[in-house]
A = this chain, B = another copy of it.
Amino acid sequence: MLVGHERTGPATHMPSTPGGERKYQAIARDLRAAIHRGEYAPGMRLPGENDLMRGYDVARMTARQALAVLINEGLAVPRKGAGVYVRDFLPIIREGIAQLSTFTWVSGRSIWSADTGSRDLRVDQVEVHQDDPPDRIRVLLELEPDARVVVRSRRVVLAGKPVLLSTSYLPAAIVAGSRIEQDDTGAGGTYALLAELGHGPERFREDLRSRMPEPDEAERLGIPAGTPVVDIIRSAYSATKVVEVNEMTADASAYIFRYDFGA
């Protein structure tokens, strides 16, 4: 069954406005409109390359190019051997300020607990070691040229899907030998521990920037084509110095970043 041989077969979609517009663009626009109309719901399969070739009477590469448009927009996700599907996602709301309030971190709750609701959260690929800091980190931490840092890197996995890579740099002069060099820093995490050491952070800065991932990042985060990442660089300041710089890379489709503040 399947397609049979419907030669005058009514296309899955009718072509439209061929005036000046490229074929692949017209096809992409038809599909995009159908998605927005809800004709293809999130998770549903879209017409494949063969469907489009027959329906619009175009060559394979042209049909592919049309699908590539939607894929690069992040509206669709290809699955090898199975088809192209409408994307569905469920973003986490990350409270950029509230999560760092004193209340949150001294009370021993995870910094991420507010973000994830009831979904299953795990941290893996934890790695802790001492090292020379990269130049950009040394600048941000305002360290002497020969100062060393403790590097804590980890990956956050939510409901089975990796959503964030995090690498935290702390001056070795402050934290060397403390619990921070263990995989599990205990209740309250890094900031509670810094407070115990007399360097509790009082001010924070977060710089956010968005870009397309490189292949290795896309793999570690399990990101399909057409999904940006957000880089977050957070600096934590005690009363007198910079006590931590945390570089994070997040799957942009997994997050909403929220900042609340007064005038």
Contact = CB atoms under 8 A, between A and B. Distances in A.
Interface of A: 25, 29, 32, 61, 72-74, 91, 93, 96-97, 100-102, 105, 200-215, 225-228, 230, 252-253, 255-263
Q: Considering residues A72, A210, A257, A261, which has the most beta carbons from chain B within 10 angstroms of its beta carbon?
A: A210
Contacts of A201: 263
B203 A228 contact: no
Contact of A207 (B213, B225, B256): B256
Contacts of A210: 210, 228, 230, 252
Nearest to A234: B259
A205 B260 contact: yes
Which 4 pairs show the lowest CB-CB distances between chains A and B?
A228-B228, A210-B252, A210-B210, A208-B257
A192 to B, nearest CB: 12
A202 B258 contact: no
A73 to B, nearest CB: 5
B226 A261 contact: no
A263 B228 contact: no
Contacts of A206: 258-259
A260 B96 contact: no
Contacts of A214: 32, 73
A217 B203 CA distance: 36
Contacts of A105: 263
A74 B206 CA distance: 23
A40 B16 CA distance: 42
B202 A262 contact: yes
Nearest to A225: B72
Given A100-B261, A201-B263, A225-B72, A253 B211 contact: yes
Contacts of A252: 209-211, 228
A204 B73 contact: no
A211 B89 CA distance: 12
A181 B74 CA distance: 37
Contact of A102 (B228, B256, B263): B263
Nearest to A74: B212
A259 B205 contact: yes
Given A32-B214, A102-B263, A263-B101, A208 B208 contact: yes
A200 to B, nearest CB: 8
B61 A91 contact: no
